[in-house]
Structure 1
Amino acid sequence: MGTLNVRTDEAMETAIRTLAEEYGSRTEAVRYALLRTYKERLIEQAKVDAERLAADPDDQAEMLAIQRFMGVAE
């Protein structure tokens, strides 16, 4: 497992302090914030992909072929 050093400003310290009260430590607060942000980014990308797939029948066929290859669709 790696270590990360980050320079913080007043706003970051306030955010970390507030989250640390809820999640138990500064480390857990930062882990929570990073993973939450990453999850939000993945969800946003999935929404964009879904909109693109809905708009293009060729992409839908390709996605179905990939799902069949992966064994998640019949």
Structure 2
Amino acid sequence: MADTITFRPDEDASRALAVLTQDGTPVSTAVRSALIRAARAVAAERLQAEAAELAADEADRAEAAQVLRDMETLRAW
């Protein structure tokens, strides 16, 4: 069974919750969906930052280029 979480929304959170539940969506469902979307957004931001870091890494780019050249010689046609 899931844990029960209690929070005290500030004015901004209350307004956001009102928007998310105006169509009749239960508060629990709205909060659960918002948490999942927020976690996915954070994960995507982290992945973008990691990709940018790798793209800026000259040594990594050189190694990747070498791997592609090596693989080209293995092509059947």
Give the TM-score band, short-chain normalised.
Answer: 0.5 to 0.7
Higher helix share: 1
Match of 2:22 in 1: 21
Q: Which string of whole-angstrom CA distances, capped at 9 and with x for unpartnered residues, describes residues 45-70 of structure 1?
A: 00110011122234886xxxxxxxxx
Match of 2:6 in 1: 5
CA radius of gyration, larger in: 2
Match of 1:36 in 2: 37
RMSD over aligned CA atoms reads: 2.2
In structure 2, relative to structure 1, the CA distance for the partners of 1:39 and 1:60 (3 Å cut) is farther
TM, length-normalised to structure 2: 0.65
Q: Which runs of 5+ in 1 are unaligned?
A: 62-74
Separation in structure 2 between the aligned mates of residue 58 and residue 23 of structure 1, nearest angstrom: 51
Separation in structure 2 between the aligned mates of residue 4 and residue 60 of structure 1, nearest angstrom: 49
In 2, are the aligned partners of 1:23 and 1:29 still within 8 Å (CA)? no
Q: Which string of whole-angstrom CA distances, capped at 9 and with x for unpartnered residues, describes residues 14-40 of structure 1?
A: 211210134711011111111111111
